[in-house]
A = this chain, B = another copy of it.
C-alpha cells in the first residue's frame, strides 16, 4: 500500500494564508470554504445547556437529532425514517465511511470538491472522473457516464456509485432538474448507488429555484449527505448527517463509524438537534445567510467578469469558478494561483486540485471570508441591507479589483520584463 496524500488543498491553503498573515502580509483569503458567519446565539445556548452530556451515546447519533434531521428532510418532501439517519462529526467522515461501506469505484464529477477523490485514494477505490455538462457543475455529464463506467467494467473494475454535489463546490452551479433526471436514469441502467452531497442545499441563492434531488426520483438508490457547516456556519463544530437507503447499508456504515469515530461530540449533537427542528430564528438566520452569500458571490463574480475572466454566475453557496485564461497565460492553474498569491496577495485555489485539467486556467474562488474579521463585523455584514458598502467588504473587493487589474496588466509586459519577486500588495 502506498499512500500519496497531502493535506487537503482547502485546509492547506487556509493554513498557508494564516501563516502569511501572521507574518504581516496582507492576503485576501478567497481560498477557504468556511462560512465566515457567527454562530447563532440560540445554538450557543443549546451547546452550553448540553455541557453535562459526556456519554458516548449511540453511534448513529442521539435519537432526538436523528428525528430532527428526519423532520428536516420530511419538510423538503423527502419522507425520512429516523432509523435510517446516521450522524457523524461532519459530513466529510460520513462520506469517507460511505465509500468504505459501499465499496467499489466511484464516478465523480470533474471538477469536484477536493476530498472526494482523496478519500477514494485513502480507502483504495479508484475515482472515475467524468466532466460536468458544459456550463453546469456538480454532476458528471450523464452522456459520458455510461461510456466511462462500461469502459471501467470492461477492464474488470467494480463500479458501484456516483456522486453529485447539489449545489456545487467548486463551481457554485446547481444542476438542472433535467440533468438530474438523466443522471438518475443512467444510474438505474448501470445499477449505481447515488451519493447526493446536499450540504449547500439551503444556500441556493434563489429560494424559488427548482431543486431536484436524485432522492426525489430514485429514493431506493440515493444516499443524501448534509450538515450544518455551511448553512449555519458550524464547520468547526463538526456535525453532519446522512440519509441512508436501507438497514443493511446503515448497519455497515455504523460498523465502520464505530471503529473510526464512535460518535459526534454530544453537546454539538444537542445543538444540532435544535437546529434541525428549524425554529423561526434558525430559518431566519439561514435566509439571511443565503441572501448575503448570494450578494457577495455575485459581486465577486462581477469583479472577475469585469476584469475579463469567463465566469458562470453561481447559483448557490459561496463559490465561483472563473476561467482566467483571458486574463493572463500560465502553463497550469497552479502556477497562476501561486502568482496571484505571491504577487497580489489573493489566495484562490487552482482548478487542478478539484480534478480539473491543470492546463485549464480555472480557479475556485470562495467568497465567504469577505464578511469581516470577528463576530461584530460579521454580524454587521449579515444584517446589513447593503453589505457591499460596508468598509471592510468594500476594501476587500477593492483589493481584488486592483489585484486583478495588475495581474492582467502584466500580460502586456510579460514579453520583455523578466518576472521579479513581486512584493505583496500593501
Residues in chain A within 8 A of chain B (CB atoms): 1-3, 5-8, 11-12, 14-15, 34-35, 38-39, 43-44, 47-48, 51-59, 89-90, 92-93, 96, 100-101, 103-104, 115, 118-119, 122, 124-125, 233-238, 251-252, 254-256, 258-268, 375
CB-CB under 8 A for A261 and B238, given A52-B375, A267-B267: yes
Across-interface contacts of A115 in B (CB, < 8 A): 259
Total identical chains: 2
A45 → B minimal CB distance (Å):
8
Do A53 and B236 have beta carbons less than 8 Å apart? Answer: yes
Do B122 and A92 have beta carbons less than 8 Å apart? Answer: no
How many Å lie between the Cα of A66 and that of B47 in the bound state?
Answer: 23
A60 → B minimal CB distance (Å):
9
Do A254 and B51 have beta carbons less than 8 Å apart? Answer: no
A358 → B minimal CB distance (Å):
20
CB-CB under 8 A for A236 and B55, given A96-B260, A262-B11, A262-B90: yes
A161 → B minimal CB distance (Å):
14
In the complex, the chain B residue whose C-beta lies closest to that of A33 is: B56
Across-interface contacts of A233 in B (CB, < 8 A): 54
How many Å lie between the Cα of A387 and that of B118 in the bound state?
Answer: 51
A92 → B minimal CB distance (Å):
6
CB-CB under 8 A for A92 and B34, given A237-B54, A255-B5: no
Across-interface contacts of A51 in B (CB, < 8 A): 39, 43-44, 47-48
How many Å lie between the Cα of A12 and that of B265 in the bound state?
Answer: 18
Could you say which of B34, B55, B103, B260 contacts A1, with CB atoms under 8 Å apart? B103
A18 → B minimal CB distance (Å):
8
Across-interface contacts of A264 in B (CB, < 8 A): 238, 265
CB-CB under 8 A for A238 and B265, given A54-B38, A56-B14: yes
How many Å lie between the Cα of A35 and that of B56 in the bound state?
Answer: 10
Across-interface contacts of A266 in B (CB, < 8 A): 236-237
In the complex, the chain B residue whose C-beta lies closest to that of A233 is: B54
Beyond A43-B51, A122-B256, list 5 extra A-B contacts (CB 8 Å): A7-B255, A8-B262, A35-B54, A44-B52, A96-B260
Can you report 14 residue pairs joining A to B where beta carbons are below 8 Å apart? A1-B104, A3-B101, A3-B256, A7-B258, A34-B56, A54-B234, A55-B236, A57-B236, A89-B238, A92-B259, A93-B260, A96-B260, A124-B124, A268-B268
How many Å lie between the Cα of A137 and that of B101 in the bound state?
Answer: 33
Across-interface contacts of A251 in B (CB, < 8 A): 7
How many Å lie between the Cα of A8 and that of B59 in the bound state?
Answer: 9
CB-CB under 8 A for A260 and B260, given A11-B59, A54-B236, A375-B52: yes
Across-interface contacts of A263 in B (CB, < 8 A): 236, 238
A331 → B minimal CB distance (Å):
26
Could you say which of B34, B55, B124 contacts A235, with CB atoms under 8 Å apart? B55
A297 → B minimal CB distance (Å):
20
